[in-house]
Amino acid sequence: MSTAPVFGGRIVTRLDPSYEEARQVWNAVPDHRPLEIRYCRDAQDVAAALRDALARGLPFAARSGGHSAAALSVVPDGVVIDVSPLNSISLDQDASQVTFGSGATLGAIYRTLWESGVTVPAGTCPNIGVAGHVLGGGLGILSRSRGPLVDHLIGVTMVDARGELVTADEENHSDLLWACRGGGGGNYGIATSFTLRTQPIADVTLFNITWRFDDLGPAVKAWQSWLADADHRINPFMMLYPREQDMVATVGVMEGTPDAFEPLVKPLLDAVEPSEVVIEPMSFIQAVDTVEALQGEAAVAKSVRALGSSAIIDRPLDDRALETLRRHLIDPPSHRSEVAIYGMGGKIAAKGREETAFVHRTELMAFEYRTDWDEPADDEKNVAWVRSVRQEMAEHTTGGTYTNTVDLGVENWLWGYYEENLPRLMGVKHRYDPDGVFQHAHSVPLSLTEAEASRFGIPEQIRRTLRAAGRLT
Ligand SMILES: Cc1cc2nc3c(=O)[nH]c(=O)nc-3n(C[C@H](O)[C@H](O)[C@H](O)COP(=O)(O)OP(=O)(O)OC[C@H]3O[C@@H](n4cnc5c(N)ncnc54)[C@H](O)[C@@H]3O)c2cc1C
């Protein structure tokens, strides 16, 4: 950009009647009040908004779908640089590649691609913005059969720390592309568009297999052994609900026919008798809608009071761990408290841990302890529930945590998100954001102190690498 870009989008300030709506994001608990929200129409607006915030010395955050679990896309007394109007979705002529504006939502993406018989494997909630989602990894409905969303990302254009546009692909700025494949939102620049490879998709088999709450232990035990060797075309979630719902369920999609699925699922059904089995062929887009509907109110809510916390698990849970989960679901603080388990493996493990910034390739399961509720008076007991289940389960987990489930209460977050990819991510940060312009509560830092490295639980071997690069002081 040779001349300074001029902002031409809509600016909503605190005096504007639409301010309350404009500052709203999915998680209502942090309740941040920004100075202004700038709706960007194009990349020039993003650059202008960023330059303006920097010139005024104001904190800022980019916002796409506003689904950061910790509301990191809204800053108190700062500027929200909202990219939601950048929501174009354009397929190339043979539909093998798609370019999204960084404000496109997953629901719109699934629907548009479906019209051309293709898809990308992404998350299960239609209102999630693609920017936060893909930058953090993107796990969901086809992860085991096709890998996380980042494995399909081949290009990203962003406004960098100087307010200039930079396009990263395999040939140019490939280290930035690597970092954007799971290195987390709000770290290196403000993305304006993403290019991904698509793949054909047609009919799938949807399954929803439920057991009684009293069978939680045996059902999860059987499920995790089944998962460990499951055909990679099977994409299962395990949902553990409060006892009052008398249900645990594995829900998901198999890329194949019911005839192909039935023998594959038989060992699981034989291990613990389910209370209900639904196995149905349907179009992929119907399956997307069905999984979304099964997710409950929070998945489609515009704004809720919520807390979620992620933990990565690399081996089947023992009886003690299963009892801990069961106990926490007997009388949880909300009827919407639950434990969601993403089945990992399959194509997630097809790439090495260091091939992309998304490091959690080799593990068995990603847990999410999550709860949402209506009244501020219930904040404390819901937060306490998440803290309790997380703490008691800690000894059964790797210490890893998923970048896209930001929980500001997790102490070792920096190591948990990135593990051995941390030194390279800090190197990319130095190259593209040498002054640390892009910052939030869980952003990749330029450097660390020894005390911080201890607090994050960074192993000595990695600390040596950081010391050698001058990033540990
Ligand atoms: C109900 C619900 C369901 C979910 N389901 C899934 C799921 O199935 N699978 C899964 O993997 N995850 C899931 N998530 C997590 C979701 O992927 C992350 O919260 C994701 O970061 C949300 O992206 P967003 O753009 O909507 O969020 P935002 O709040 O807009 O942004 C998230 C982060 O990215 C930054 N950011 C936003 N826009 C940009 C940009 N243009 N450039 C650079 N940084 C930017 C923000 O500043 C913030 O730090 C779910 C979350 C919710 C609340």
Query: Cα(118) to centroid of ligand 1, in Å?
Result: 23
Q: Is 102 in the pocket of ligand 1 (CB under 6 A)?
A: yes
From first to last of its 473 residues, the chain has per-residue pLDDT tens of 457 889 999 999 999 999 999 999 999 999 999 999 999 999 999 999 999 999 999 999 999 999 999 999 999 999 999 999 999 999 999 999 999 999 999 999 999 999 999 999 999 999 999 999 999 999 999 999 999 999 999 999 999 999 999 999 999 999 999 999 999 999 999 999 999 999 999 899 999 999 999 999 999 999 999 999 999 999 999 999 999 999 999 999 999 999 999 999 999 999 999 999 999 999 999 999 999 888 777 777 888 999 999 999 999 999 999 999 999 999 999 999 999 999 999 999 999 999 999 999 999 999 999 999 999 999 999 999 999 999 999 999 999 999 999 999 999 999 999 999 999 999 999 999 999 999 999 999 999 999 999 999 999 999 999 999 999 98
Q: Which of 24, 39, 45, 67, when mutated, tests ligand 1's pocket best, judged by the most ligand atoms within 8 Å of its CB?
A: 67
Per-residue tokens: 467: 């010391």
Q: ipTM of this model?
A: 0.99
Q: Which of 68, 139, 406, when mutated, tests ligand 1's pocket best, judged by the most ligand atoms within 8 Å of its CB?
A: 68
Q: Is 129 in the pocket of ligand 1 (CB under 6 A)?
A: yes
Closest residue by Cα to atom 51, ligand 1, is 67
Q: How far apart are CA 307 and CA 278, in angstroms?
A: 30
Report in angstroms the alpha-carbon separations of 403 from 336, 357, 367, 387, 416. 23, 10, 13, 18, 8
Q: Is 126 in the pocket of ligand 1 (CB under 6 A)?
A: no
Confidence (pLDDT) at 298: 76
Confidence (pLDDT) at 300: 78
Q: Is 73 in the pocket of ligand 1 (CB under 6 A)?
A: yes
Query: Cα(148) to centroid of ligand 1, in Å?
Result: 14
Task: Assign 430 to helix, strand or coil.
Answer: helix
Among residues 36, 11, 78, 46, the alpha carbon closest in space to that of 160 is found at: 46
As a residue count, the chain comes to: 473
Sequence ranges of the domains in the chain: 10-82, 89-200, 203-410, 415-468
Q: How far apart are CA 254 and CA 236, in angstroms?
A: 8
Helix (H) or strand (E) holding 36: strand 36-39
Q: What is the pLDDT of residues 348-383, one digit of tens each?
A: 999 999 999 999 999 999 999 999 999 999 999 999
Residues 6+ apart with CB under 8 A from 375: 305
Which atom of ligand 1 is nearest the CA belonging to 141? 8
The CATH number given to 89-200 is: 3.30.465.10
DSSP3 helix / strand / coil % (the chain, rounded to 5): 35, 25, 40
Confidence (pLDDT) at 347: 98
Confidence (pLDDT) at 55: 96
Q: What is the pLDDT of residues 217-241, one digit of tens each?
A: 999 999 999 999 999 999 999 999 9
Query: Cα(109) to centroid of ligand 1, in Å?
Result: 15
CATH 2.102.10.10 fits 10-82, yes or no: no
Closest residue by Cα to atom 31, ligand 1, is 132
Instruction: Tell how many helices (H) and how many strands (E) occur in the chain.
Output: 16, 18
Helix (H) or strand (E) holding 216: helix 216-228
| Structure letter (DSSP) for residue 138 | -
R_g of the chain, CA atoms, integer Å? 22
Q: Is 404 in the pocket of ligand 1 (CB under 6 A)?
A: yes
Q: How far apart are CA 121 and CA 79, in angstroms?
A: 32
| Structure letter (DSSP) for residue 304 | B
The CATH number given to 203-410 is: 3.40.462.20
Sign of CA dihedral 186, 188, 193, 195: negative
Could you give the angle at the alpha carbon of 109 between the alpha carbons of 105 and 114, nearest 5°?
A: 155
Closest residue by Cα to atom 3, ligand 1, is 125
Among residues 152, 206, 202, the alpha carbon closest in space to that of 180 is found at: 152
